[in-house]
Amino acid sequence: MAYETLIVDVEDHVCVIKLNRPEALNALNKQLLEELAEALEDSQKNDKVRCIVLTGSEKAFAAGADIKMMQEKSFSEVFLEDMFTSESERIGRIRKPIIAAVSGYALGGGCELAMMCDFIICSDTAKFGQPEINLGVSAGLGGTQRLTRYVGKSKAMEMNLTGRLMEADEAERCGLVSRVVPVKKLLDEALSAALKISEKSMLTTMAVKEMVNRAHEMPLAEGLRFERRIFHSLFSTEDQKEGMAAFSEKRDAQFRDK
């Protein structure tokens, strides 16, 4: 499938999706969000793909939702079309792991899109922020909700109320990103993490994604029960027998997703 706002490439079990609207710093318009949801759904269906990397350009992962697209819209229009809901829900339903590789600006919807991924590796040039307040609106794709869960109330409140941008080292310190790497190595580092994930049993990687995400949605006691039952159920797989046999026999495991 050819896309106008994305470059999609599948190699070695990893699908790399590059946001590609350089003229607008990858601002998220309806076309880009729909194409992204479609590309992710294709990756979900493609048996060759075991992990996904979502990235942008060196200057911008994405500078937010497209302001020019939204400027003239009224409340009734955005409410009735339910702006951003179906695309973000489609992205949220992807079960394969998604790594965000962020360089440059990840602002507004760009920061929110990175947070929809399973973890974020960023370059030392990355800048995160929720500057919607400067436009007379609030975040609308998770910037008041996911950011608060990632970095806590105080920082999330400050960023959403002042529009202050956060640099890479602060983002790593407060747990928004898993790692900061030199900008020239960003894609290699993200690909190497994706390749490591691709070598595991997909039964397990998809289950683990679901389990960690439950930590944000459930009380601790329920989450622990959910985790224990999934852990138990993984003993019904051939991959559990293979993984543990490989450890005992001092060899690499050959997982078959069974």
Identify the residue among 8, 94, 139, 147 touching ligand CAA (CB under 6 A).
139
Taking the complex as a whole, how short is the minimal distance between the CB of residue 126 and ligand CAA, in angstroms? 12
Nearest to 116 by CA among 89, 155, 137: 89
> Active site residue: 65, 106, 126, 171, which one?
65
What sign has the CA pseudo-torsion 132, 138, 144, 145? Answer: negative
* Residue 180 engages ligand CAA in binding (rule: CB under 6 A): no
* Residue 72 engages ligand CAA in binding (rule: CB under 6 A): no
Catalytic-residue membership of 109: yes
Piece in contact with ligand CAA (CB under 6 A), picked from 43-51, 135-143, 200-208, 228-236: 135-143
Catalytic-residue membership of 112: yes
Catalytic-residue membership of 65: yes
Q: Are strands 98-102 and 119-123 parallel, antiparallel or unpaired?
A: parallel
Amino acid at 157: M
DSSP string, 43-84: HHH-TT--EEEEE--SSEEE--B-HHHHTT--HHHHHHHTTT
* Residue 109 engages ligand CAA in binding (rule: CB under 6 A): yes
Q: Which two tokens stand for residue 172?
A: 């790593």
* Residue 24 engages ligand CAA in binding (rule: CB under 6 A): yes
Beta-carbon contacts of 211 under 8 Å, excluding residues fewer than 6 positions away, are 226, 227, 230
* Residue 87 engages ligand CAA in binding (rule: CB under 6 A): no
Nearer to ligand CAA, 105 or 150 (CB): 105
| SS3 label, residue 145 | coil
Nearer to ligand CAA, 49 or 141 (CB): 141
Q: Are strands 119-123 and 179-181 parallel, antiparallel or unpaired?
A: parallel
Identify the residue among 51, 114, 140, 198 touching ligand CAA (CB under 6 A).
140
Nearer to ligand CAA, 136 or 219 (CB): 136
Residues marked active site are found at 65, 109, 112, 132
